[in-house]
Homo-oligomer: A and B are copies of this chain.
Amino acid sequence: MKEKRKPIMSGFTHILHGGDYNPEQWKDTPEIWQEDMRLMKLANCNTMSVGIFSWAVLEPEEGVFDFSFLDTAMDNIAKNGGKAVLATPSGARPHWMSDKYPELLRVLPDRQHALFGVRHNHCFTSPVYREKTAKINRLLAERYKDHPALGMWHVSNEYGGECHCPLCQAAFREWLKKKYGGDLERLNHAWWTAFWSHRYTSWEQIESPSPIGEIYVHGQNLDWKRFVTDQTADFMHNETAPLREMTPDVPVTTNFMGFYPGLNYWKLRKEVDVVSWDNYPNWHMPDSNIATAVQTAFLHDMNRSFLHKPFMMMESTPSLVNWKPYNKLKRPGMHKLSSMQAVAHGSDTVQYFQWRKSRGSSEKLHGAVVDHCGHENTRVFREVAELGGLLQKLDGIVGTMPESKVAVLYDWENRWALDDLQGLQNEDKKYIETTLKHYTPLWKRGVSVDVLDFHEDISAYSLVIAPMMYMMERETIQRLKQYVAQGGTLVCTYLTGTADENDLCWLGGLPAEDLKEVFGLWTEEIDTLYPEERNALVLPDGTKYAVCDYCEIVHPSTAEVLATYKKDFYAGQPAVCKNSYGKGTAYYIACRDTGEYVDVLYGELLQQLEIPRALPNLPEGVTAHVREGGGERYLFVENYNGAPVQVVLEKNYIDMETEQTVRNTLKLDGYGVSVLKEL
């Protein structure tokens, strides 16, 4: 029997519910501070995130500190029986700091020195900024280390961006020296600098990519992006050092941002004790919620997979956001549904940006638990409070986990390489879209999935799906090979194994190295279709599925041909192949289908491989997930349709919200969700 994992905050065995709380914006209105505590209870909230962006209040002049507002806020939260997620304030600095130390403002890619403004506008290399952040973090830790409200550390906020200042250029060069063992010729090879006479003869010649310099050297771009991630992690390390020293038992996190391209979160996860992320899906798009639900589910799975334990949904909106092209209200029910989706996939929290709408500046129309009207008589407040009531019944879920027999591979560096790649369809290689197309059939069938990058251990999975695995190093090739040889089932596509870890194309025939044997074929060339063009893949029984964007021309050696192209000069040639290799099987889908074919293929594979599903026979737009541990199994059933549905059950359950027993059939309202405990 699997044990439950420990709760996020030691000894606080509840699902966390609360939000970003900025009482420093209301210093002149103490009645609002009081109201907040009354409303927090009414809303069934137990956790508030405080201190994000508070530096100007905490240190109004250099070296002059004033923690009084935070003292009060922490005390209030504790008195209310709640916990604080206490932030370090590095996401934005006071004016005086960049006035005195202008070098801590970023230099932009075109080498302009930024002015004070917005947030996250700091050089992550600057020694002064590192000193300043370490110092205030230490003061915060010293002051609150024994405070009963302190539940965890929220380090900075949504790390992101990059800096091109001389300090960063120097750090980049040092990073490169280390990576290439001090051998400039290794760098010249990796960046293929013989092309266009770019050969470096001195480390000092190296500059970060720039629109007024070089942006087309793929190896250089890759290394710069890697450096940015590493330097951000290093900056974070500097931030967390005093926290870990002073409060070794208080967990540390920083909030990730889903598919944010600028940071490889597989690296950054190593700096956190708990993964947290900010989740802002596009609910209520004109067509349906399914694509949104699928993408959000995938991101929850990825965030859970970073550390293979429950994660935190650190931000979400109780109603709408203010930065999308069209900012729609969540329909009634959607708030509970979308919050419970996070829990279903392994979140042990439902947290919001933001507790109370600010009066001014850019986010004043961003949704909040408490609106400008200031009272609780709003639909949004009621839905938050209702959700809070449900969460209070779910202490048992804390620490349980989904179990996955399927892994989908999605890799940040592969994405960087594809985004940078000049060729094929240049506007967008659609790596994420394609990965989601392969994930959708699993979601529809209530199959639990782990999302991994190319360097993770895959040996325990029955099925590994890795679309567009363009860039991979030799070690990855060997891992895939052994996985199949030892009995695994692997599905790859066109572009597999084209380039190595420096984005140098593999020589000697594709897919690279031993993959030709694993898939039993070699690939000769790839045709790109115009957006409106279609081909089809044809099964032996004549069934056809639409093909778009890419058609690779492949030559099987040992592979069996599962489908062929319908037309064009490669009509009749293989479009999908299957190869037995060692004890396992490798599928090669040589073209991009519009989604119907992979749905059928994965349906068959799930049956063949006897992959467990949370529930069979799910209606369209409905999915189900299981969390288990400590001998308990919880079933989440989610209806993303606006209309009610009925779902057939195979076991008996108790509904955690109504506390009623449920048998045979479950009825769900439009946007309804149920949490059922298996009896």
Instruction: Let me know if A117 is at the binding interface, CB within 8 A.
Output: yes
Q: Contact partner of A196 among B53, B110, B366, B553, CB < 8 A?
A: B53
Q: Contact partner of A378 among B89, B362, B525, CB < 8 A?
A: B525
CA distance A527 to B331 in the complex (A): 10
Look across to chain B and name the residue whose beta carbon is closest to the beta carbon of A28: B189
Instruction: Let me know if A329 is at the binding interface, CB within 8 A.
Output: yes
Query: From residue 476 to 512 of chain A, which have CB atoms closer than 8 A to chain B?
Result: 502-510
Instruction: Let me know if A424 is at the binding interface, CB within 8 A.
Output: yes
Contact A424 B506 (CB under 8 A): no
Interface string of A518-549 (1 = CB under 8 A from B): 00001011111111110000000000000000
Instruction: Let me know if A668 is at the binding interface, CB within 8 A.
Output: no
| Minimum CB–CB distance for A214 against chain B, Å | 3
* Apart from A192-B361, A198-B361, A374-B508, 12 more pairs, CB < 8 Å: A53-B196, A57-B194, A95-B201, A95-B205, A112-B212, A218-B360, A326-B425, A363-B422, A372-B509, A374-B507, A378-B525, A379-B553
Q: Contact partner of A197 among B93, B214, B328, B425, CB < 8 A?
A: B93
Look across to chain B and name the residue whose beta carbon is closest to the beta carbon of A195: B361
Contact A322 B286 (CB under 8 A): no
CA distance A205 to B93 in the complex (A): 13
Size of chain A's interface in residues, with CB distance under 8 A?
A: 119
Instruction: Let me know if A207 is at the binding interface, CB within 8 A.
Output: yes
CA distance A460 to B197 in the complex (A): 48
Contact A372 B507 (CB under 8 A): yes
Contact B423 A372 (CB under 8 A): no
Query: From residue 387 to 446 of chain A, which have CB atoms closer than 8 A to chain B?
Result: 421-427
Main secondary structure of the interface of A (DSSP, over half): loop
Look across to chain B and name the residue whose beta carbon is closest to the beta carbon of A332: B569
Query: From residue 351 to 390 of chain A, which have CB atoms closer than 8 A to chain B?
Result: 357-366, 371-375, 378-380
Residues of chain B within 8 A (CB-CB) of A329 are 525-528
Interface residues of A (CB under 8 A from B): 22, 24-25, 27-28, 53-57, 60-61, 89, 91-96, 99, 108, 110-119, 189-202, 204-205, 207, 210, 212-219, 285-286, 319-320, 322-329, 331-332, 357-366, 371-375, 378-380, 421-427, 502-510, 522, 524-533, 553, 568-569
CA distance A423 to B96 in the complex (A): 31
A–B pairs, 27, beta carbons within 8 Å: A25-B195, A60-B199, A92-B198, A93-B197, A95-B200, A96-B201, A96-B205, A111-B115, A115-B210, A115-B214, A192-B359, A195-B358, A198-B361, A218-B360, A218-B361, A286-B530, A286-B532, A322-B422, A324-B426, A326-B425, A328-B528, A329-B525, A362-B422, A363-B422, A371-B525, A372-B509, A378-B525
